[in-house]
Amino acid sequence: MTENPATSKVAFPSDVDYRNRIKRAQTAMKRHGIDVLALAGVDTHRFFTGLHGLPVSRPIWLVLQQDGKAGFVSPGSEVKEIRARCSTPVVARWVEWEEPVPAPMTHQDALAKYLEEVAPGARVIGVDFNGANGGNIELVKQKFGAERVKDAGALLRELFAVKDAAALGVIRLSCDVIAHQFNASRDAIAPGVPEWEVSLASFVAGTRRAAELWDGNEEQSPLAHGLHMTGSGTERTARCHASGAGRKMRDGEYVQICRCSTGFFGHLIGFDRPVLLGSKEPSKEMRKVVDLAREAQEAALAAVRPGVTAGEVHAAAMKVIDRGGWENPVLHRTGRSIGYSGWDGHELKADSPTVLEPGMVFTVEPGIYVDGVGGARFGDTVVVTETGCEVLTPFELGRSI
């Protein structure tokens, strides 16, 4: 995506950044034995080209050879949109109507025709199985032969693991947006208010802040991305992903704010906080849940540094949680790699051998969930540095409750 003068005050990835990512991918393709990449995932489109915000009902293939430039194989409906939103060319199209000069009428036919022209000797075609739906993968296998189609997931996980400077710049903007979302969420919390009102306040605040950052860009929608989950009360906070539904909040209970995989320009982060509603004191057991959840996150954050395994970070959180004496109070991992998408392929979980490196970005969000008592988690997004980690989200926001 070329830089828009209207948004020059914001540092977006440049065409140079995208070319550098493509070069890294081409080097990795040779290492993985992949002749051509055909990528349908919107996260990979954004990563390599800056294409963002298109509908995903029809498959759009980004094709990358070991040498040369990237290009899109697009449905006719999206050709103009792609040209308006990024500088990567549309190299082939497929249509859903008859034309004087017949054109391919399925995405797999258009992809096959283009690859026959530019890479007739391609033996291995890498497809992002995590980004393309199963039906489209099967159609591609039928067209090319299953033996030629390989999952490119491992290659993409390598590329996504360590963030470049351009990505970190946008991730920081996502962290700016999340502060507005949380403050609006907290302001909406009151006795008798349904949870969905809190989630709506988050969505509106995130949209307004994104619109300010886009500063009049005519091609990019500021509508807030991600999950705006809100859960309240003993039963719903003891589940990690209450959806922000019709339950009305009550004085003296906790409301768990989960802004999972939210962000700006598709660069996603995580941020979680429990919020105490009103002036009534919670039960001693619920206060214990909250205090140990906060301490568990702090222990995990202290463990994050280069050379440590993801499993060791998880173990640091669990050492604190185990002090609570509850039976099975954990419902999810301690965190995940994030930034280019909602999950970039690595996890902070039990026994994970992933070794942390400078530039990796993770959520750190251990939670405690006790039936009959309630649940809580503190979650932040961090980047691994040379000596430890930097918390990118507003760490002190909502921490003292």
pLDDT tens track for 347-400: 999 999 999 999 999 999 999 999 999 999 999 999 999 999 999 999 999 998
For the stretch 241-269, pLDDT in tens is 999 999 999 999 999 999 999 999 999 99
**Where does 106-242 have alpha helices with state H?**
107-118, 134-144, 153-161, 165-188, 195-214, 233-237
Residue 10 has pLDDT above 80, yes or no: no
- Residue percentage of the chain with pLDDT more than 70: 98
- In the chain, residues under CATH classification 3.40.350.10 are 5-160
> Coil, strand or helix: which one is 154?
helix
Residue pair 113/104 in contact (Cβ under 8 Å)? The answer is yes
Q: What is the pLDDT of residues 147-203, one digit of tens each?
A: 999 999 999 999 999 999 999 999 999 999 999 999 999 999 999 999 999 999 999
pLDDT surpasses 80 at 132: yes
pTM score of the predicted model: 0.95
Quick one: how far is CA 123 from the chain centroid?
Answer: 32
Q: What is the mean pLDDT of the chain?
A: 95
How much is the average pLDDT of 99-119?
A: 96
Under a CB-based contact definition with an 8 Å cutoff, are residues 253 and 232 in contact?
yes
Average pLDDT over residues 12-23: 96
Q: Which two tokens stand for residue 30?
A: 């040779």
- pLDDT in the model for residue 279: 85
- Rounded Cα distance between 184 and 93, Å, is 44
Alpha helices (runs of H) in 224-333, residue ranges in sequence order: 233-237, 284-303, 310-321
Burial of 204: CB neighbours in 10 Å, binned 0-12, 13-18, 19+:
middle
Q: Residue 4 — pLDDT band, cuts 50, 70, 90?
A: very low
Indicate the DSSP class of residue 155.
H
| Model confidence pLDDT, tens digit, residues 27-64 | 999 999 999 999 999 999 999 999 999 877 899 999 99
The CATH T-level fold of domain 5-160 is Creatine Amidinohydrolase; Chain A, domain 1 (3.40.350)
- CATH code of 162-391, in short, is 3.90.230.10
Report the pLDDT averaged over residues 283-291.
97
CA distances from 254 to 14, 201, 291, 333 (A): 43, 18, 13, 22
Q: What is the DSSP letter of 21?
A: H
What would the pLDDT profile of 324-359 be if each residue is shown by its tens digit? Answer: 999 999 999 999 999 999 999 999 999 999 999 999
CATH 3.90.230.10 domain extents, the chain = 162-391
